[in-house]
Amino acid sequence: MERIAFFDTKPYDRIWFDKLNTEYDIKYIDHKLTPDTAAAARGCKAAVVFVNDTVNSETIDELCAVGVKLIALRCAGYNNVDIKYAKDKIDVVRVPVYSPYAVAEHTMALLLTLNRKIHKAFIRTRDFNFSLNGLIGFDLHGKTAGVIGTGQIGRIFIDICRGFGMNVIAYDPYPAKDTDINYAPLDKLFAESDVISLHCPLTNDTRYIINESSLAKMKEGVVILNTSRGQLIDSDALLQALKDKKVRGAGLDVYEEETSIFFEDYSSTIIKDDVLALLVSMPNVIMTSHQAFLTDEALQKIAEVTLANLGAFFRGEELKNAVLYKTDKA
């Protein structure tokens, strides 16, 4: 039985892997993969990793040194992997799609919660405070959603927005063919959208796509949603725009410095990241901890596809979910 190292394991990760795995001896490791922890994979042929594992050149060297031949991402995004460096050293596979519905639905949940202040109302009524002061929202119907990135998730989010009667404009350098999506240049999207939602990957082109200059082009009172990758937003610039009331609210499932923070319980610790602390403290910011994918359906699919990826690798078959340097847009 091949031994597999499974980094950054949380209880919810194990549910479907334990149910479906019959072929591998899985060594579940609680801590994240970094150059310092890679040696924990000694004796394993594959390392299963997630979004906040650090798979840089040093980690890749360490993994190779202890005999790991395959990095199996149990996620779609691979911006945390140095694909260029991995080329010809180690194979990398991923789960390209698990549940785009999970992420798109979570994005709308953030918007609805923020707009109708459900997070405030929940706390109030539990304290028998039935006042409505400060809870005014706006109708989504008739407002314009600007969607950046019209891949799997962006397109489902567009459908959801249309279900609410919103007008949708979108930007994507690779527009989807055979759709009725109303594409617009980025500056027009910034200028006309009441809500802007990010559904593009993190690449050199998209890093800090929301920054001081793009925020300046937006409507007063715009709502920003990010369920993609933290570094799509310059958090300092967003913080300032929230203070200036340029941005009415932000729904964030990701944060640019999340790697050492998200997925862990720091409730008894003083958070040293002032930007994070200020964002979380704002009544018009909802932050979730990279949770958008977390549905039963997505976890099952992640386990199924990862086990299939491992099977293809160990049987010497073609790796149809390989992440190849030549297709990397980063």
CB 54 within 8 A of CB 32: yes
* Distance between CA atoms of residues 134 and 240, nearest Å: 22
| Minimum separation from the CB atom of position 50 to ligand NAI (A) | 10
Catalytic, 258? Answer: yes
Q: Does 230 bind ligand NAI (CB under 6 A)?
A: no
The pair phi, psi for residue 73, each rounded to 5°, is -75, 130
Catalytic, 304? Answer: no
Ranges within 69-98 binding ligand NAI (CB under 6 A): 76-77
* Distance between CA atoms of residues 73 and 81, nearest Å: 9
| Minimum separation from the CB atom of position 51 to ligand NAI (A) | 8
Ranges within 150-169 binding ligand NAI (CB under 6 A): 150-154
Query: Looking at 14-22, 42-50, 54-62, 227-235, which segment touches ligand NAI (CB under 6 A)?
Result: 227-235
Q: Does 103 bind ligand NAI (CB under 6 A)?
A: yes
| Minimum separation from the CB atom of position 260 to ligand NAI (A) | 17
* Distance between CA atoms of residues 108 and 94, nearest Å: 26
Catalytic, 23? Answer: no
Tokens at 161, concatenated: 């927005």
CB 111 within 8 A of CB 225: yes
DSSP-assigned letters across all residues of 31-79: SPP-TTTGGGGTT-SEEEE-TTS-B-HHHHHHHHHTT--EEEESSS--T
Letters for 254-293 (x = contact with ligand NAI by CB under 6 A, - = none) are x-----------------------------------x-xx
Tell me which residues touch ligand NAI (CB under 6 A): 76-77, 100, 103, 148-154, 171-174, 199-201, 203, 205-206, 227-229, 253-254, 290, 292-293
Q: Which residues are catalytic?
A: 229, 258, 290
